[in-house]
Amino acid sequence: MRMRPLGRTGIQVSPYCLGTMMFGQVGNPDHDECARIIHRSLDAGINVIDTADVYSYSETEEIVGKALKGRRDDVVLATKVNSPMGKDPNRAGSSRRWIVTEVEHSLRRLQTDHIDLYQIHHPDPRTDIEETLAALTDLMRAGKVRAIGTSNFPASDIVEAQWVAERRGLARFRTEQPPYSLLNRGIEREVLPVCERFGMGTLVWSPLGMGLLTGRYRKNRNDGKDREISERRMAWVPRHMTDERTHDTVERLALLAGEAGMSLTHMAMAFAVAHPAVTTAIIGPRTMDQLDDLLAGAGTVLGDDVLDRIDEIVPPGTDIGLLDVSYDPPAVTRAGLRRRPGGERAAA
């Protein structure tokens, strides 16, 4: 695979990144098979692996750590911190207290003395971004972290963090990890342009729309094992897996892929890495067969005619249906932030 610069870090990465969310009890509980998938990915030219402390309740980091024995120096290893790791409210978030504690846990599970890219998994409105950046800066100076990044950050939060880093003399976030696919193009409006402006690399997740762009979850076509898998996934992310408009769009995209002589999966992956602001797209295979299919399409390039047709089906900068696992800011999720107190409304 032809390497790409990870923003201005000086690090070179492959256009595909191996995501590991499906390794462990949540996806594939067979540690040996997960290790084989990791090794097959590295042998195919993928040199960046993304994981997180919260994946399979820390089991995934352990799988990755065991699989990378003897090959650690060949890998750009990325993990994340922020998601809850227990009932204790202080075992989550982006405070100095939690970051400097959890990085040691991740290092132990990953069996390494440093993390190449340490990412804040979600924004933490409760914590001053200066507090977070100061803790991450200290970890970089200690040699435990090589570069830092964000994940699921709105454009405004990315800009604020860059300004704070400059004014306080702290380390800058060098990457962002947003959702991006044929179905979810919202980041084209602000997030990707902001990342380009600040020289940040991007590792886009869910380029296959949480499985909707694999071709397995077609409208009125699931039966047998695929139906069982589909229903299990619907219990987890029911809205976008059952949304009528989303499925109608998938059908139109599948038709276009067929006309272009490629699978929907290969068209979706080629689209994700075609944007000039996208550094690498995260693939999340659960089985070796899934990995082999993704690798088979790694050389797919979309012509302007296909990209123009895609723009007609899903206009640039739009989301057909939001992923249930996407980050929603407090301004959207908390009713109290959208409504004036009753007395003020009455007085008006």
Catalytic residue IDs: 55
Is residue 184 left, alpha or beta, with left meaning phi > 0 and alpha meaning psi from -120 to 50?
beta
Structure tokens belonging to residue 234: 């619907």
Write the DSSP symbol of residue 68: T
In 189-240, the DSSP E strands lie at 201-204
CA 189 to chain centroid? 18
Q: What residues pair up with 56 in beta bridges, in sequence order? A: none
Q: Could you tell me the CA-to-CA distances from 114 to 72, 88, 149, 273, 297 in Å, in that order?
A: 10, 26, 15, 28, 32
> CA-to-CA distance for 179 and 17, rounded, in angstroms?
14
For strands 48-50 and 76-81, give the pairing.
Answer: parallel
